[in-house]
Chains A and B, each alone.
Chain A
Amino acid sequence: MYLALREIRRSRGRFALGVGAVGLLVFLILFQQTLLTNLLGFFTGGLANQSGDVVVYAADARRTLAGSVVPAETVDAVAAVPGVARAGPLHEATFTVRPAGGRDLLDGVLFGYRLGGPGHPTTLREGRLPRRDGEGVASAVDADAGFGLGEVVTVEPAPGAEPVRIRIVGLGDDLRFSVQPTVFVSTATFAAARRATNPAAAGAPVLPSAVVVETAAAADPAVVARRVTARVAGVEALTRDEAVASAPGVAATRQSFGVILGLAFVVVGLVVGFFLVILTVQKAGALALLRAVGAPAGLLVRSLLTQAFVLAAAGAGIGVVLLTAAAARSSPAFPISVDGPAVAATCAVLVALALAASAVSVRRVLRIDPLQAALGPSVGGLA
């Protein structure tokens, strides 16, 4: 170990380059992991953090809220299934909205639920739930973008129609949906928004996208979901977790990031492996001399593994420092957070990977013939 650390101290520039490269890669991995967690939260937060234990879609909706429409009578049919404590309609659609303060128009999602019924947001941080039409709960992450407590958001109407105004009375954590700002409102407010954007259908009923179910205390949501699917015609019921996992974009995002992260892990192994091989080749003569004067192979291998560990651990340290700096500078609209346990687990895997990647160099060290010290190039490596 003494030998390994002394060499690092004497070859600061060389090791600094290696640690820098590994540090950047570790930062890339940690940053992408955080990005993935945030993106998935933004895709599905509104669905994941509403009170329904079971979400009932139309059978032909392919498990997407946007593609699902259920007849109004389905709510009562679902409510009659054993194990269902309360059932209520859930509406979801994207509208063009103008945030408070005359800001630019943007796409926003409205979730409509029966006030006092299932489907209300469960992560309220500030304020209260809506008590009447025209009130809403927004995601806290959008508070500074014109969705703050007490501010009024307007659903942009079709020409000639009246705009629908929603006063934000509460802010909750992780309530975005489809990566858009999201507001939970009453079913009547949702219907008013629908009619304002399509006056041609003013007399038509605004049908729910899905039915949300709060299960009885002792009931298993998975069992209730299966029962609803079996007993109510034309629907497919999923537990909340299943519904979140099936939401559009979730699986594709997971797969894409999985490939990217897998690649980044492989590259860490490659970089550490190549770095150590180059070091080993460069000092082959010196290692042969050490073997010739009696140093056991085990000592040289331990020295190599120590350097691999220092390289990976220092790189991980740099990665964590960079992530912390990025978290401090991230915008409230897309916050980057440092998840301690997840970061520690990733760093542990990376250090283990670095140790495994040093196997090629270990093999080279074990194959060194002390005779090379007398016959090979000058001591200190290649001339």
Chain B
Amino acid sequence: MSLALIELRRRPGRFAAMLAALGFLVVLLLLLGGLLDGLYRGSTGALRAQDADLLVLASQSRDSLLRSVVGPADRRRVAAVPGVRTVRGLGVALVGVTVPGRDEVADGAVLGYEGGVRGVPLPPRPGEAWVDRRLRADGVREGRRLLLGRGRVPVRVRGFVDDTSYLLQGGIWVRLGTWRRVLRQNRPDAALGPRTVQGLAVRVEPGVDPGRVAAAIRRAAGGRLEALTVAAAVDALPGVQAQNSTFRGIISVTLGIAGLVVGLFFALVTLERTVLYGVLKALGASSAQLAVGVATQAVAATLVAFLAGGLVSLGLVALTPADIPVELRADRAVVTFGGLVVAALVGSALSLRRVVRIEPASVIGGA
């Protein structure tokens, strides 16, 4: 074991301040990342699950599924565009969901569909719904009857599906007819005609460029329709882009702060160890060996802080109320750890110049 690790093991108290500060930052980073993932996945699941190349919306809606209206004539025009393989109608209504035996109303997104949704079976019979597992926290159980919105449209829960929420409201997947009934009975001014939908999920023929088909759809509809990729539709959801950029900015700044903490700590440690480093150099240790020792301690301390911070984060998430969308994910943890290691290495590198400049003779002579 190297000198650096032996010191870390024999004198952990020396590193306690930095470990505490880094551990605190790890908790913050994991919770911020968890919040970002929870918000993103909870807002976008219903769109990400679309097994489609394009989502077609009314141009006037500015890429908002909620405000879009696509009539049967436009649907026929889209279906007739060369390169279009399948066209499936889609609609959404945000409602309060009354769960029998519960006082609190749950947030639900009633999604009318015609199939083509990954992880969601084909549309159930009228009056039935596949329900996102997120709503289990509100007391929803298989076989139970839910009442949708103020109009109290009843649906029976056929089963559960995963990761299909929309704007942080649990997805309730129903036939288009059931969805239209929910609209009509809850918002009469938002009711739509019998074959009208809000959006069209379009699959293109194999080998055909979706971009070309999108342009053809716009032309065919005389500019009344906008065709965008599912990824673009996800980005167009209210707040998604702003949310992502804000959180990523905060996470980057936090990583920078972690680097600053490590840098300040090792600047201090290097000052304290100047004489020791001088002695080691006098005994033949090279500057590179000492630098590797500093970097090793920085990485080892980061690992310890990450493990401790990770455990604390898991505990905090377990205590978090169900309505706060925090989701700790392994891929996020790996990226966070990688970022922390880089920040720690950069921070510890700030002391290397001083380590390299130590002159054994002058240090020992002054001791």
**Chain A residues close to B by CB (< 8 Å):** 58-62, 66-67, 69, 94-96, 105-107, 156-159, 191, 194-195, 197-198, 200-201, 204-207, 234, 249, 256, 259-260, 263, 266-267, 270-271, 274-275, 277-278, 281-282, 377-378, 382-383
Contact = CB atoms under 8 A, between A and B. Distances in A.
A158 B60 contact: yes
A96 B61 contact: yes
A257 to B, nearest CB: 10
Interface size class of chain B, counting residues whose CB lies under 8 Å from the partner chain: 35 or more
The 8 closest A-B pairs by CB, nearest first: A60-B96, A383-B366, A204-B188, A274-B264, A206-B189, A60-B105, A200-B193, A201-B191
A105 B196 contact: no
B129 interface: no
B67 A197 contact: yes
A69 to B, nearest CB: 6
B107 A62 contact: yes
B257 A263 contact: yes
Contact of A59 (B35, B67, B105): B105
A106 B35 CA distance: 29
Q: Is chain B's binding surface mostly helix, strand, loop or mixed?
A: helix
Nearest to B224: A159
Given A60-B98, A96-B62, A205 B28 contact: no
Contacts of A95: 67
Contact of B271 (A197, A198, A234, A382): A382
A67 B96 contact: yes
A198 B24 CA distance: 52
Contact of A278 (B268, B362, B365, B367): B268
A59 B31 CA distance: 33
A229 to B, nearest CB: 14
Given A67-B95, A278-B267, 14 more contacts: A58-B96, A62-B96, A67-B96, A94-B67, A96-B64, A197-B69, A201-B188, A201-B189, A205-B189, A263-B254, A271-B264, A274-B264, A277-B268, A382-B274
A377 to B, nearest CB: 5
Contacts of B60: 96, 156-159, 197
A194 B150 contact: no
Contacts of A62: 96, 105, 107
Contacts of A107: 62, 64
Nearest to A97: B62
Contact of B69 (A158, A207, A271, A278): A158
Contacts of B15: none
Interface string B187-205: 1111111001000000000
Contacts, number: 117
A67 B96 CA distance: 8
B272 interface: yes
A91 to B, nearest CB: 10
Contacts of B267: 274, 278
B67 A207 contact: no
B187 to A, nearest CB: 6
22 contacts: A60-B95, A67-B94, A94-B67, A96-B64, A157-B60, A159-B224, A198-B191, A200-B191, A204-B191, A205-B189, A207-B188, A207-B189, A256-B246, A259-B31, A267-B257, A271-B264, A274-B261, A274-B264, A278-B268, A281-B268, A377-B367, A383-B274
A234 B186 CA distance: 14
B149 A60 contact: yes
A156 B196 CA distance: 19
B21 A270 contact: yes
Contacts of B69: 158, 197-198, 200
Contact of A69 (B32, B58, B186): B186
Nearest to B261: A270
A70 to B, nearest CB: 9
Nearest to A281: B271
A61 B62 CA distance: 25
Contacts of A59: 105
Contacts of A383: 274, 362-363, 365-366
Contacts of B149: 60
Contacts of A96: 60-62, 64, 67
Interface string B217-260: 00000001000000000000001000000100010001001001
Contact of B264 (A156, A200, A278, A282): A278
B347 to A, nearest CB: 11
A282 B187 CA distance: 72
Contacts of A260: 250
